[in-house]
Amino acid sequence: METDFLVIGSGIAGLTYALKMSEAHPDKTITVITKTDADETNTKYAQGGIAGVWDENKDSYDKHIEDTLVAGDGLCNEDIVALVVKEGPERIREIIDLGANFDRNEKGEYSLGKEGGHSENRILHHKDVTGKEMERALLAQLATSSNIHLINHCFVVDIITQHHLGYLVTKSTLDITCYGVYVLNKQTNQIETILSKITVLATGGCGQAYRTTTNPRIATGDGIAMVYRAKGKIENMEFIQFHPTALFEPGVSPSFLITEAVRGDGGILRNKAGEAFMERYDERKDLAPRDIVARAIDNEMKRTGTEHVYLDARHMNKDKFIHHFPNIYEKCLSIGIDVMQQMIPVAPAAHYSCGGIKTDEWGRTSIQNLYACGECASTGLHGANRLASNSLLEAMVFAHRAYLNSADKVEKLNFEKRIPDWKATGTSDPREMILITQSQKELTQIMSDYVGIVRTDVRLERAMKRLDLLFTETEDLYRSTKVSPQLSELRNLITVGYLIVKGAQFRKESRGLHYNTDHQQKSDLLQNIIL
């Protein structure tokens, strides 16, 4: 198959890019691939909303920029922060024009929420299901497009480069070029080749590397692992954001999120003795940036020997709570918690990857004709810690920029016709699926036990040794059996785990989301760790 533009991922980043390209170039072919159903994305589960300076009388670009820089703890790229904050409102207006509905107050103005680290109310939202509404609007628009070909249930295994033509490609090769991808068609179980002139990775995050995560099953870091295998640049993987307040529900995966907006509306964190402990940790209390709140909760849990703390909403106005958070209210009721009577048990869960595929201000990766946007990319916006509700914004801003940069480039490109078919090395069907599920379980155990909110040198070293063994076993399995999505995801998760540990080992300081008790000071040297 040949396509001018190949977009991998149907979340906010991939769909925004595809729709823009489709409108600007009705004569070109655009293919969007997704590994399960089109709407099964991290995007669909976004709750709190999308941050943007909406009313310049009450808020300002400077304040949003400053809040983003403070959360990022010294590692944000200031030019990138400024451009995202300033271009963001225009992108939000565009999705409103596509039909996404955001809540309004009695005066008909957009109702702006607040979350940790924000100095002003600036978060547009649709109840507590903002992502679902945005995904709905984007997919509805896509259905009207005549030149976007959406392929569901197709698993991208690897991106194709000169390596597949038999050339030696290393990290030092300057002109690594992407010619398309190999995909596993889940219907036929065959690996097929898709040639593309421009390829866009919008494959989302990697929360599934951890035992407890808010991310759905699809979040296995595939794009990041593929680029690493293709010798592209990955950066800042040690900055995994743990959301402070996932619903504590043992055995349930993924964890249901209790949006930070509940704290923005007055919710209070309490320990098992009922103490509002955040005032002991930060003057911004419950609305301090996420790294600080998650570490405080982790500390309280360890100090009091509990597996969770509580989020107290009992004092909040019932009608207002149900109006803003109907989904959370219903979910809690379904497990026997009336949030007006009982406190909600919550614990931190892996939530967001701040690092990823290194890109420039146009979404270009270090591999030619390959772009990345959304959670899989590392644009420089988040630095060492992402400010709440900045990721939907970032995804739209960089999808737009990637579209602008790649639109005309396509005219000068040709398909690389010499690409060989996929070489199936393994002959038998995956013999024992249980081996794959057991290894994945082991991986999440290693990452949660040794590479979580608080790290030490010894724990990181132990994690690396365990990952080494898992890597060797999995590569053996990969060589001897037919490729399956499960086996590919396991390989990708092990690669992502390795990148997180390696980044954490290189960073000899505690900064933002990376906290190592053996290196508690911040280094004077501000550096991004590129792997």
Interaction of residue 257 with ligand FAD, rule CB under 6 A: yes
Task: State yes or no: residue 41 binds ligand SIN (CB under 6 A).
Answer: no
Give the Cβ contact number of residue 364 at 10 Å.
19
Determine the size of the site formed for ligand SIN (CB under 6 A): 9
Place of tokens 């930060």: 282
Provide CB contacts within 8 A for 183, sequence distance 6+.
33, 154, 155, 156, 157, 191, 192, 193, 194
- Interface residue with ligand FAD, options 196, 208, 215, 406 (CB under 6 A): 215
Q: How far is the CB of 463 from ligand FAD (least distance, A)?
A: 23
290 included as an active-site residue: yes
Of the pair 161, 390, the CB lying nearest ligand FAD is at 390
In eight-state DSSP terms, residue 422 is P
Nearer to ligand FAD by C-beta: 25 or 382? 382
DSSP string, 9-24: --SHHHHHHHHHHHHH
Which residue in the set 83, 218, 278, 309 belongs to the binding site for ligand FAD (CB under 6 A)?
218
> Does residue 34 interact with ligand FAD by CB under 6 A?
yes
Distances in Å between the Cα of 283 and the Cα atoms of 276, 396, 480, 512 are 13, 33, 56, 17
List the one residue from 388, 443, 490, 496 that touches ligand SIN (CB under 6 A). 388
Binding-residue pattern over the window 330 to 369 for ligand SIN, x denoting contact by CB under 6 A:
----------------------x-----------------
> Rule CB under 6 A: is residue 260 a binding residue for ligand SIN?
yes
State both tokens at 384. Answer: 């060492």
CA distance 162 to 491: 22
Strands 190-201 and 268-270: unpaired
Where does this chain touch ligand FAD (CB under 6 A) — which range of 76-84, 100-108, 213-221, 292-300?
A: 213-221
Examine residue 12 and tell whether it contacts ligand FAD (CB under 6 A). yes
Residues 6+ positions from 302 with CB-CB distance below 8 Å: none
Site stretch for ligand SIN (CB under 6 A), options 19-27, 81-89, 155-163, 256-264: 256-264
Quick one: tokens of 19?
A: 């729709």
Record the tokens describing residue 152, joined without a space. Answer: 């569901």
Cβ of residue 73: shortest distance to ligand SIN, in angstroms? 17
CB of 154 vs ligand FAD, minimal distance in Å? 6
User: Of the ranges 281-289, 291-299, 314-322, 387-395, which one interacts with ligand FAD (CB under 6 A)?
Assistant: 387-395
Q: Which of 492, 451, 435, 513 is nearest to 218 (CA)?
A: 492
Residue nearest ligand SIN, Cβ-based: 48
Is 294 a binding residue for ligand FAD by CB under 6 A? The answer is no
Instruction: Say whether 430 sits in a helix, a strand or coil.
Output: coil
∠202-208-210 over CA atoms, to 5°? Answer: 135
Of the residues 290, 491, 507, 511, only one is catalytic, namely 290
Interface with ligand FAD (CB under 6 A), residue from 199, 369, 391, 439: 391
d(CA 30, CA 359): 22
Nearest residue to 517 (alpha-carbon basis) of 442, 435, 457:
457
Nearer to ligand FAD, 9 or 503 (CB): 9
The pair of structure tokens assigned to 18 is 């595809």
The answer to whether 275 and 312 are in contact (CB under 8 A) is no
Instruction: Using CB under 6 A, list all residues that contact ligand SIN.
Output: 47-48, 259-261, 352, 388-389, 391
Instruction: Using CB under 6 A, list all residues that contact ligand FAD.
Output: 8-14, 33-36, 41-43, 45-50, 130-131, 155-156, 202-205, 214-215, 218, 222, 257, 352, 374-375, 389-392, 395
Catalytic residue ranges = 290
